[in-house]
């Protein structure tokens, strides 16, 4: 999970909580740094504050991931990553802006940690089902050479292949 929030106390609290629930969490304090982390690690989930310094807020970052990057790359790697926006803005119009930008979830601050965990778990399960369905529809079981891999193992193999592909592109 990549967690982006400009407030260190919030990053620490959410990061520690999600880590205690079994998730690996990479944190960033602003949009440009988060964008670089995502290019390197291709996260399974993104949790971002909306208001951040650094010239890119959460909605702009989401727009970069969902639209600009996908148009430049036919793989659409970021199209299926669940994104949850956190914000002090609780107006319905603010949520609509987030959802139009491509957010999968929207949680107004303050929130309960179990509310965030429930949304993360739900979105990660949905993402896993979609990847498994995609792999089944594309005869991906031929790629496993007869090995029975769990959905989590398939996701890890997919991430490794994407990483190798990126390295080859850079050469």
Question: Model confidence over 24-56: pLDDT tens digits?
Answer: 999 999 888 888 888 888 889 999 998 887 788
Question: Model confidence over 50-107: pLDDT tens digits?
Answer: 888 778 888 888 888 877 554 555 555 677 889 999 988 777 887 888 888 889 999 9
Residue 168: per-residue pLDDT: 59
H or E element, residue 86: strand 83-87
Residue 163: per-residue pLDDT: 67
| Mean pLDDT, residues 137-165 | 66
pLDDT > 90? residue 15: yes
Torsion 127-133-135-140 (CA) sign: positive
Q: How far is CA 140 from CA 31, 124, 137, in A?
A: 35, 20, 8
User: Highest mean pLDDT: which of 108-112, 150-154, 162-166?
Assistant: 108-112
Residue 139 Rama label (left phi>0; alpha psi -120 to 50; beta): left
Question: Model confidence over 106-145: pLDDT tens digits?
Answer: 999 889 999 999 999 999 999 888 878 877 777 654 555 5
Torsion angle (degrees, nearest 10) of CA 108, 114, 119, 125: 170
The pLDDT-based confidence of 149 (bands split at 50, 70, 90) is low
Residue 84: per-residue pLDDT: 95
Cα(138)–Cα(11) distance, integer angstroms: 38
Residue 116: per-residue pLDDT: 95
Domains, in order of start, for the chain: 2-134 (3.40.50.2300)
Cα(7)–Cα(49) distance, integer angstroms: 9
Alpha helices of the chain — where are they, by DSSP H?
8-20, 31-41, 58-63, 69-72, 92-101, 113-137, 151-170
């Amino acid at each position: 999970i990549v967690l982006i929030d400009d407030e260190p106390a919030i990053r620490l609290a959410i990061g520690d909580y999600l880590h205690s629930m079994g998730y690996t969490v990479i944190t960033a304090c602003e949009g440009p740094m988060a964008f670089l982390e995502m290019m390197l690690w291709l996260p399974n989930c993104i949790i971002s504050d909306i208001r951040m310094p650094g010239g890119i807020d959460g909605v702009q970052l989401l727009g970069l991931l969902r639209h600009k990057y996908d148009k430049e790359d036919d793989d659409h790697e970021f199209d299926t990553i669940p994104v949850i926006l956190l914000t002090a803005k609780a107006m319905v119009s603010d949520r609509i802006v987030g959802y139009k930008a491509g957010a999968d979830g929207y949680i107004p601050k303050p929130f309960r940690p179990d509310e965030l965990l429930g949304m993360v778990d739900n979105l990660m399960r949905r993402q896993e089902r979609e990847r498994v369905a995609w792999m089944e529809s594309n005869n991906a079981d031929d790629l496993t050479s007869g090995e029975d891999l769990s959905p989590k193992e398939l996701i890890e193999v997919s991430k490794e292949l994407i990483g190798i592909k990126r390295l080859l592109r850079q050469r």
